[in-house]
A and B are shown apart, each in its own frame.
Chain A
């Protein structure tokens, strides 16, 4: 690339008094002063959280209201700071979701240990654990900072599902059982 030598002009006497630049600086600050302030007054005004933000990990329901977690404990094993503790439990046979077989009896995430890495979300085969928009976790005691299952579902809510894999499985099983009568 060709070297372009830019001629450095000597300052004129007027410029060397600093006055034009001081006046320009004063104009800049004055313009800034009459503009509206940019501060969000935090507790009253909350920032808009962008889509895809990875905040507090939560558990979600599918659109039919079934809890998606099947307590496979993959997130518990992958969690680098060991923040997740799951007690698996079986789904009783009279439950409409009995074909899913398992769900967590208790699911605890210790937010004092959690590092918001998102590996639990990445590893989850059921898309049941999501890092969502909640960014502010506070509490007065260590116990308060442990999110139990109830709190996790409160935070998580319902997310749309594309697969409905357990419904498909149930339908397939029923079809197979139905078709099997012919054999």
Chain B
């Protein structure tokens, strides 16, 4: 049925796949901004934006649901950001000022290439069923690539802060870089135990995110266990560092609208400003995706219940399209919950002071992640040599 697709040249297929992913991720990131407004409204006992509607659509029955959810407000905001005047202040370094929002989009949309968002099953010639990843690229260095590209995101903040050529954006840029360095360390150290567990000594090693999920989909008590149960401290450190990396509350030091006006984006407006925020939400989506892959079993519906059990149960294991769609839905559901969690935390916790952020990063999380790594390394070494 889909053979014609596989007869297309490889480069065209890759372009189509990449475009499809970006066409999903970009509006999803924009929709997150509306979700943010709605969640904040509900938490504060308000209905949130619920009035906007295009007048020529009002005759459609049931469209009021989308009106109440603010979907048309989102479109109106998008249109406003796209078409409103976009002045460039006279005192900025124009080239870098324009470059910064573009630079923020590049890592945000690139990292998604390494995230597998599902798996489907095919029957090999000898009858065994093999799971294959649904991803743009399934690199063996998947997580490393995500970390390498994801941390480039802060360059756009530094660039924006510096190119704006005024005090508050500059302070925001400085804070962004300091915060990123502080939390990148604990984040990387916190995922090392996962890969110590996944990779057996003497075997070909992997940093592939798909393989991490596959090791959480095995039969048995230890095989089906999600790593959040096996390594709760790792998961916790990773989550906290993820909040800091994506500049979310309570770690939104680079913005700090209370003390830095708007931080790095003080001088920005209109479309350039919205690009920063789409990038921030894209980082959140990718970051939540990686958390789900590493610690929450990716597209497995429940702990100890791998995807294949469910597809066998409803008899769609042999159907790559349906099993793939089910996997993607489960994965996006988990990611959606984490997006909600990010917002939930934002409207619950007050912001840390800058010195508290530094203290937490260097004096609490970093020693904790090192201790965590040592403990797991020793335990795993003991298990392997037993």
Contacts and interface: CB of A to CB of B under 8 A. Distances in A.
Contacts of A22: 345, 348-349
A29 B347 contact: yes
Interface stretch (A37-45, A68-76, A80-88, A159-167): A37-45
Interface residues of A, number: 13
Interface stretch (B20-28, B43-51, B378-386): B43-51
B344 A39 contact: no
A30 interface: yes
Contacts, number: 33
Interface string B347-371: 1110000000000000000000000
A30 to B, nearest CB: 7
Q: How large is the interface on B (under 10, 10 to 19, 20 to 34, 35 or more residues)?
A: 10 to 19
Interface in A30-67: 30, 32-33, 35, 37-39, 41
Nearest to A37: B47
Nearest to A34: B42
Interface string A6-33: 0000000000000000100110111011
Chain A binding surface, main DSSP class: helix
B39 interface: yes
Interface in B311-369: 344-345, 347-349
Contacts of A37: 41-42, 45-47
Contact of A33 (B43, B345, B349): B43
Contacts of B345: 22, 26
B250 to A, nearest CB: 9
Interface string B170-214: 000000000000000000000000000000000000000000000
Contact of A39 (B39, B47, B348): B47
Most B CB atoms within 10 A — which of A25, A30, A33, A38?
A33
Given A33-B39, A33-B42, A41 B47 contact: yes
Nearest to B236: A19
Contacts of B344: 26, 29-30
B46 A25 contact: no
Contacts of A33: 39, 42-43
B344 to A, nearest CB: 6
A62 B184 CA distance: 79
Contacts of B42: 32-33, 37
A30 B45 CA distance: 11
A79 B349 CA distance: 52
B313 to A, nearest CB: 32
Interface string A161-180: 00000000000000000000
A41 B67 CA distance: 14
A99 to B, nearest CB: 56
Contacts of B41: 37
A26 B47 contact: no
A39 B43 CA distance: 12
Nearest to B39: A33
Given A33-B42, A37-B42, A41-B47, 16 more contacts: A22-B345, A22-B348, A25-B348, A25-B349, A26-B344, A26-B345, A28-B348, A29-B344, A32-B42, A32-B43, A32-B45, A35-B45, A38-B45, A38-B46, A39-B46, A39-B47
18 contacts: A22-B348, A22-B349, A25-B348, A25-B349, A26-B345, A26-B348, A28-B348, A29-B344, A29-B347, A29-B348, A32-B44, A33-B43, A37-B41, A37-B42, A37-B45, A39-B45, A39-B46, A39-B47
Interface of A: 22, 25-26, 28-30, 32-33, 35, 37-39, 41
